Amino acid sequence: MLPKRTRLKSFDYLGLHRYFLTFCTHDRQELFTSDEVVNAALRQILRAARQCDFAIHAYVFMRDHVHLLVEGTTDSSDLREFVKLAKQLSGYGYSQKKKGRLWQPSYFEHVLREGESTTRVIAYIMNNPIRAGYATQWGEYRFIGSDTASLDGIAELLRDNPQPAWEP
């Protein structure tokens, strides 16, 4: 279980910022193995993103965690509120169907700085299933996507902009 993380004291998590996020499942259980569970969680995360003014540029559901690249779309976009709502909505939906907990407390976040490449983070997310041995190329893994671009568009972006690997 992730310990409760201290957020940056000098940063308010409001506005037009980009974030790499990781949410882990309760006790790191391998819960994201079916379309039913992944699609239900994704629907609620997208709902929270709309309500909290966030764009989801990339996501990947691994067996026991999800990675997201999100960006605030208004000056009032509040990352803490988005994460709280996303985990609350998806966790409640899961508990109603499966009678268990979906998420462990807390989450990992990395605030992308001015010079950090969005494309490099998208590549990291999309290549996660390959690094884990779930696929040989990212297009064959079914639990990846974006709310702002098609997978073909992402493939073209990554092909046309090769960059060094990014690590959170």
Q: Which domain holds residue 101?
A: 18-117+143-148
**Residue 105 is assigned to a structural domain of this protein:** yes
Number of domains, the chain: 1
**The pLDDT of residue 129:** 94
Among the residue ranges 63-67, 107-111, 127-131, 160-164, the one predicted with the least confidence is 160-164
Residue 56 lies inside a defined structural domain of this protein: yes
Residues 6 or more apart in contact with residue 122 via CB below 8 angstroms: 57, 58, 69, 146, 154, 157, 158
Residue 126 belongs to a domain: no
How far apart CA 134 and CA 130 sit, in angstroms, is: 6
The answer to the question of residue 33 being in a domain is yes
H or E segment at 57? strand 54-61
Is 127 within a domain? no
**Angle, CA of 145, 147 and 149, to the nearest 5°:** 80
Within a domain: 38: yes
Q: Residue 41 falls within a domain, yes or no?
A: yes
CATH of the domain at 99: 3.30.70.1290
Task: Say if 125 falls within a structural domain.
Answer: no
- Band (pLDDT 50/70/90 cuts) for residue 6 is low
pTM: 0.91
